[in-house]
Homo-oligomer: A and B are copies of this chain.
Amino acid sequence: MSYTTPAEAMQALRAVEAKQWALSHAMNMIVYDAATAAPKNTAEGRGHTLGILSEYMYGLIADPENQALLSYLRENESALSFEEKREVELMKKTCDQLSRIPQEEYTEYEMLLNDAQTVWEKAKNENDFPAFAPYLEKIVAFNRKFAGYYNPDLLPYDALLNEYEEGVTMEILDAFFEKLRAAIVPLVEKIRRAKPIDDGFLHRHFPADAQKKCAEYLMEVLKIDRGYCGLAESEHPFTDNFNNKDVRITTHFYENNLASALYSVIHEGGHAIYELACDDKYTRTALAGGVSMGIHESQSRFFENIIGRSKPFVFAVYPQIRAFFPETLADVSAEDFYRAVNKAEPSLIRTEADELTYCLHIMVRYELEKRLIAGTLSVSELPAEWNRLYKEYLGVDVPDDTRGCLQDTHWSGGSFGYFPSYALGSAYGAQMLWAMKKDLGDLTERLARADLTDVKAWLAEHIHRHASLYQPSVLLENACGAFDPDHYVRYLTEKFTALYGLSLQD
C-alpha cells in the first residue's frame, strides 16, 4: 500500500490506534469485571473471548499493512512533528514486540493468564502453592521466551525491565538498591533500638460500611472527579484506565485494618489523578496514558506516602476519619494516628509495609525475578527461597505462602520486571517533591488544610499532561533534573530520624 502524503499516512495510523484502544478497552473491561464483579466460576467464557479479542489485536498490530505503514512513516520522519515522531516510535515498538511473538503463543498466553488469575486467587486463599506452581512455571517460561522476542540483544530480565521502564537495567538497579540498602539497613537497625510506636488501635474493628464512606471522603480530598472515576472492591487494589475520562480504582476493605484501605485508596487515587490529567489531545492515540510504570508509581506513592503520610496532611484529615469511627478512635489523637501510619517495622506483606521498609520487600522480589527468568531458580524452589530472603533482608519468618510468595497478583498476571518500578517510583517522587518545593515554597500550610490544589497543578503541568510524549528519563529530567536517588535517601532519613527522635549523627 502506498500513501500520497505523510499526513495521510498519519491519518491511517490514527485509525489503527483508535482500534487498538477499543480492543484494549474491551479486554480491560472484561478483566476489570473479573476482578470486581464477575461470579467466581466464569473464567472459561472470559478466556474464550479474551483469546479472540487478542487475535483481533494481533491481527491489527502485526498486520503487514500496518508494518508497511509504520516503515513509510519512519522513512518520512522529517515531515513529522515531534509529537508525531514519538507516536510512530511508540507504535513501532508495540508492533515490533507483538509481531515478534507468534500469534498462537500470544493467544495461548492471554488465555493462560486468565486461568492463572482464578487459580492464584484460590491458591492464595487456601495456602496451596503447588496448585498455582504449574501455571507460574508456564508464565515464567513464556516471559523468558518473550524477552528474547522483545530484544534478543539484552539479557532476558533486562528486556523485561525495559518493558516497564525504558532504559532501566539490572546494572542500574543493582547500584540503586545497593545505595538504598546502605542507608536503610542501619536506619532500620537504629529504629529497632528506639522506642516502639503503638499502632495496635489500627487493628480494632472498623466496619466495612464506615470504611467505604471514609474512602469516599478521601476521594473528595484528592479532588478526583467521580463522574470520570469509579471506586470498586477487589482482592488486590488496582487502577484501570479505559481512557482519560474513564478511570477505575479498586480497594479491599479489611475490617481489622483501617490503614490498608485508606492508603490503598490514596495510592490508587494517585494513579487515577495522573491518568485523568493526561492531555485530551492524546486520547486514543499511542501518546495517551501514563508513560511508564516507574512514573506511574511515582505518582501513586507520592500521594500515598509523601502527601498522605505527611504530618500536616494527616493532622488535617484525621478529624474527619475519626468521625466515621467516633467510639473506636475516641482515645486516639492525630499525633497517635500520624505515628501509627508511619510505624517502621519489618513485616510480611508488601502492600501493608511501611514507607521505609517497603523497598526491602521489592528487593526480595527483584532478586527472585532475576533468578526465575535467568533460570537459576526453579518455581518449586520459590517458596523456600522467598522465605530465606525475607529472613535475610527483613528478619522475619514467613509462616505460610499465603503471606509469602502467593501474596501479590503480579506474577499470576504475567508481570515480571514490574516490581522494581515501585522503588524507582518512590525515588522519583522524592525528587519531584524537592523540585516542587523549589517552585512552590514550603507546602506545610497547604497540607495542613488538606489543600492539594497547588500540588496537583504542579504535577499536572510537569508530569501528567504530557502523558506518554516523553521517555521517562526525559520527562523526569525536564521536571526536576536527571535521576538522583540521593533525594530519596535524604527524604527517608530525615523523616524517620525525626519520627523516631533519632539523631542524624547517631
List A residues at the B interface (Cβ < 8 Å).
18-19, 21-23, 25-27, 29-30, 32-33, 36-42, 44-46, 48-49, 51-53, 56, 225-230, 232, 242-243, 245-246, 248, 284
Q: Which residues on B sit within 8 Å (CB–CB) of A243?
A: 45, 48
Contacting A25 at CB < 8 Å: which of B30, B228, B230, B245? B30
Query: How many of these chains are in the complex?
Result: 2
Report the separation of the CA atoms of residues A44 and B25 in the bound assembly, to the nearest whole angstrom: 13
| Distance to closest chain B CB from A279 (angstroms) | 15
Q: Which residue of B lies closest to A209 (CB)?
A: B209
> Which of B18, B21, B37, B227 touches A41 (beta carbons < 8 Å)?
B227
Inter-chain contacts of A245 with B (CB < 8 A): 41-42, 44-45
Q: Bound state CA distance, A105 and B33, in angstroms?
A: 30
Contacts of A27 in B (CB 8 A): 26
Pair A38/B230 contact, Cβ less than 8 Å: yes
Give, as a whole number of angstroms, the nearest-CB distance from A230 to chain B.
5
Chain B's nearest CB lies how many Å from the CB of A255?
16
Query: Chain B contacts of A232 at CB under 8 A?
Result: 37
Complex Cα distance, B25 from A12, in Å, reads: 28
Note all chain B residues with C-beta closer than 8 A to A51: 22
Question: How many Å lie between the Cα of A117 and that of B503 in the bound state?
Answer: 63
- A42 contacts across to B, CB distance below 8 A: 227-228, 242, 245-246
Q: Once the chains are docked, how many angstroms separate the CA of A225 from the CA of B39? A: 9
- Say whether B39 contacts A53, CB under 8 Å: no
**Contact A45 B227, beta carbon cutoff 8 Å:** no
B227–A37 CB distance below 8 A: no
Most buried by B among A26, A226, A242: A26
In the bound complex, CA of A376 to CA of B232 (Å): 47
**Complex A-B, nearest 4 residue pairs according to Cβ-Cβ distance, in ascending order:** A22-B52, A41-B227, A26-B26, A42-B246
Tell whether, in the assembled complex, residue A39 and residue B284 are in contact, meaning their CB atoms are under 8 Å apart: no
| A48 touching B227 in the complex, CB below 8 Å, given contacts A26-B53, A30-B25 | no
Q: Are A30 and B39 interface neighbours, CB within 8 A?
A: no
Q: Chain B contacts of A38 at CB under 8 A?
A: 230, 246
Give the shortest distance, in Å, between A43 (CB) and chain B (any CB). Answer: 9
Whether B246 pairs with A48 at a CB distance below 8 angstroms is no
**What is the CB-to-nearest-CB distance from A457 to chain B, in angstroms, rounded to a whole number?**
22
Q: Name the residue on B nearest A46 (C-beta).
A: B246
Q: Which of A30, A42, A228, A230 has the most CB of B within 10 A?
A: A42
Interface pair A37/B242, CB less than 8 Å apart: no
